Structure 1
Amino acid sequence: MILSLLFLRSDQLLVGDRILAIENLYKRESNLEGVRLTKTVNGPWIRMEIEYELPDLPPAGCTVKHMLVDLETRGDGAGLVTRGGWSRLPSHIRPLTVMRVRENSMAEL
């Protein structure tokens, strides 16, 4: 993920972020299991650990940053579309990545 100014990031969820854990359960399962976890969470928050890349200045390489995100839950979900996850075929295993953040959802606010 390349951003022109680091402070614009503001520790918000963005497209391209990789989800490492949902509710302290590290993602080795499929994307479907992650969706189930976000829908069945008990309480008003979903805790997610994500990582994203920070570019060097000038952009010659990147560093990875980890953070925890607590999202308030509503009846319409957290507002995330994710892709990736575990597969039986090693060549198909991909990081669980945020592909879309729904406008005006808890993930965007």
Structure 2
Amino acid sequence: MNWIPLTSPEQLQEIKNNNGYSIIFKHSTRCSISMMAKRKFEFEREALPENTPVYFLDLISYRDVSNKVAELFHIHHESPQLLLIKDGECVYETSHGEISAEDAASMIA
């Protein structure tokens, strides 16, 4: 899995300015539910179009970036959480056991 580490607010602005789709996966390294959601997402990753950037946010290490995600994309913080961004706007958000690369891929297709 080619995760793009999301470690700075500047990267969020880049995602916001991007045309097309991006995914942000917010993960808590202290949560077993988050670990299971991450494994499931990685298992299903092939369902996503090959060129879809997938950002990985360790929200324990980068809490300030996680807070900025909520603010910038107008979503309520959850953990784990998946956001599908299209042309700078969050068009789909899900969390916990509902996280699915296949569901995200169906929204992109």
> If the length of structure 1 is used for normalisation, what is the TM-score?
0.30
Larger gyration radius, structure 1 or structure 2: 1
Work out which structure has the larger RCO, using CA pairs closer than 8 Å and 6 or more positions apart in sequence: 2
Greater strand content: 1
State the TM-score, normalizing by the size of structure 2: 0.30
Structure having the higher helix fraction is 2
